[in-house]
């Protein structure tokens, strides 16, 4: 696992989400032996091993880290790594590709999916190494066979770290951390009444893996949990003390009720047309004046102009944002000037285990894909919804 890939790249300790400067691309065909999915391969006997196209910048730090992991895909599996059409065209195996894996945090350009698609008539699966697929889905929907090809993602891989961020954001405001820091700077002994999370209500807009992981931590603090999601009958409803469903109240009253009841509102909605500006003026108007809004799903889900107005006029107590409509956040954005805002640069889940977590999830899905009698994945992205 820690060896040098193709004799060229040394191990790298770090990795970055950002695109790296364009560099000359190298193509790699990597037949490897591994014990990660060896049992599955032995069971398959003579079944052909898939050809996998990883869309990534192989010269970037994350691209190098990715290539160090490639031996784990298994014996005789062929891996193609590139970030443009010309690189992939140089592979004689391109027409045999069955799996396409965009790796955006390794500088992978999602547009390459569209450009190599006509040359990959055998594609049977697309997997995003990131959880968000809002930029990928429209591209697939526009391609021949794209709507029918199963799309999976890294859903659930980063829920633990995002749950911790949600707790940290609540404690930041509940314990008045900025006030404590300011008192130290001013050498002021200010024995104010300290808050506690126990007994307070946290509301979730979106109650998938991220929301549920966060809700479990909230329960450990003795908080009351209310949540809003699309429909009944999905796993995790039992975690909440009270649930609201969009299918019951399509006019949005259930969602606004979550905002009204909550001391803290956590939005973990995925991006897409159905969630665009889901948290806006009406929702912020329903909040308590002491209420805190936390966004850690997709920035497109929040009406930032409405949030700025709510913060600057004191309609809500504060907000914590890890995701934004435009990233990096432009210097001219009024969000930078909001004093009661905790702002992080979309790195709440960028932990030292980020690469390993998403890679291990991919290996699990690859094992299923290669197993005898494979009939489909347990969970796939609903392309009509975008998540």
Averaged over 96-108, what is the pLDDT?
A: 97
Least confident of 69-83, 98-112, 195-209, 212-226: 69-83
Q: What is the pLDDT of residue 75?
A: 73
Averaged over 71-80, what is the pLDDT?
A: 88
12 with 355: CB under 8 angstroms?
no
Q: What is the pLDDT of residue 8?
A: 29
Active-site hit among 33, 179, 247, 327: 327
Select from 272, 273, 295 the least CA-distant residue to 283. Answer: 295
Q: What is the pLDDT of residue 31?
A: 42
356 tagged catalytic: no
Active-site hit among 124, 172, 346, 356: 346
Averaged over 239-256, what is the pLDDT?
A: 97
Active-site hit among 127, 224, 298, 304: 298
Least confident of 33-42, 244-253, 295-304: 33-42
Instruction: State the Cα torsion 164-355-212-276 to the nearest 10°.
Output: 100
How big is the CA angle at 352 (ends 328 and 272), to the nearest 5 degrees? 40
Cα–Cα distance between 63 and 80 in angstroms, integer? 12
Q: What is the pLDDT of residue 380?
A: 97
200 with 223: CB under 8 angstroms?
yes
Cα–Cα distance between 106 and 16 in angstroms, integer? 7
Percentage of the chain modeled with pLDDT above 90: 85
346 tagged catalytic: yes
Residue 43: pLDDT over 70: no
Cα–Cα distance between 72 and 166 in angstroms, integer? 33
* pLDDT confidence band for 48 (50 / 70 / 90): low
Mean confidence (pLDDT) of the chain: 89
* pLDDT confidence band for 292 (50 / 70 / 90): very high
pLDDT tens-digit map of 322-359: 999 999 999 999 999 999 999 999 999 999 999 999 99
Residue 25: pLDDT over 90: no
Q: What is the pLDDT of residue 27?
A: 45
298 tagged catalytic: yes
Q: What is the pLDDT of residue 183?
A: 98
Averaged over 140-168, what is the pLDDT?
A: 97
* pLDDT confidence band for 12 (50 / 70 / 90): very low
Averaged over 148-170, what is the pLDDT?
A: 97
Averaged over 240-267, what is the pLDDT?
A: 97
Q: Kindly report the pTM of this predicted structure.
A: 0.86
Backbone angles phi, psi at 329, to 5 degrees: -65, 120
Averaged over 283-309, what is the pLDDT?
A: 98
């Amino acid at each position: 696992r820690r060896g040098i890939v193709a004799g060229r790249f040394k191990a790298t300790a770090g990795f970055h989400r950002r695109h790296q400067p364009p560099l000359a691309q190298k193509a790699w065909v990597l037949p490897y032996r591994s014990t990660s999915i060896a049992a599955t391969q032995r069971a398959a006997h003579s079944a052909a091993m898939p050809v996998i196209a990883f869309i990534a910048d192989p010269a970037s730090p994350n691209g190098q880290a990715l290539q160090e992991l490639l031996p784990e895909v298994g014996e005789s599996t062929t891996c193609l790594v590139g970030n443009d059409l010309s690189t992939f065209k140089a592979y004689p195996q391109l027409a045999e590709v069955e799996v396409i894996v965009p790796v955006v945090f390794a500088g992978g350009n999602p547009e390459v999916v569209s450009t190599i698609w006509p040359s990959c008539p055998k594609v049977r699966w697309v997997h995003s190494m990131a959880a968000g697929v809002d930029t990928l889905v429209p591209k697939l929907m526009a391609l021949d066979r794209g709507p029918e090809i199963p799309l999976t993602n890294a859903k659930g891989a980063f829920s633990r770290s995002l749950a911790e961020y949600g707790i940290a954001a609540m404690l930041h405001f509940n314990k008045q951390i900025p006030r404590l820091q300011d008192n130290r700077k001013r050498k002021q002994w200010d024995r104010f009444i300290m808050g506690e999370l126990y007994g307070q209500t946290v509301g979730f807009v979106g109650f998938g893996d991220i929301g549920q992981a966060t809700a479990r931590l909230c329960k450990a603090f003795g908080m009351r949990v209310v949540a809003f999601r699309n429909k009944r009958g999905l796993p995790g409803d039992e975690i909440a003390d009270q649930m609201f469903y969009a299918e019951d109240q399509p006019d949005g009253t259930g969602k606004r009720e979550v905002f009204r009841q909550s001391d803290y509102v956590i939005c973990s909605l995925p991006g897409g047309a159905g969630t665009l500006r889901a948290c806006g003026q009406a929702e912020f108007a329903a909040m308590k004046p002491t209420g805190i809004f936390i966004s850690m799903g997709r920035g497109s889900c929040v009406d930032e102009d409405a949030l700025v107005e709510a913060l600057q006029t004191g309609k809500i107590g504060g907000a914590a944002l890890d995701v934004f409509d435009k990233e990096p956040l432009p210097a001219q954005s009024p969000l930078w000037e909001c004093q009661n805002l905790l702002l992080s640069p979309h790195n709440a889940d960028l932990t030292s285990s980020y690469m390993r977590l998403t890679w291990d999830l991919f290996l699990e899905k690859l094992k299923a894909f290669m197993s005898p009698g494979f009939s489909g994945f347990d969970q796939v992205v609903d392309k009509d919804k975008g998540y």
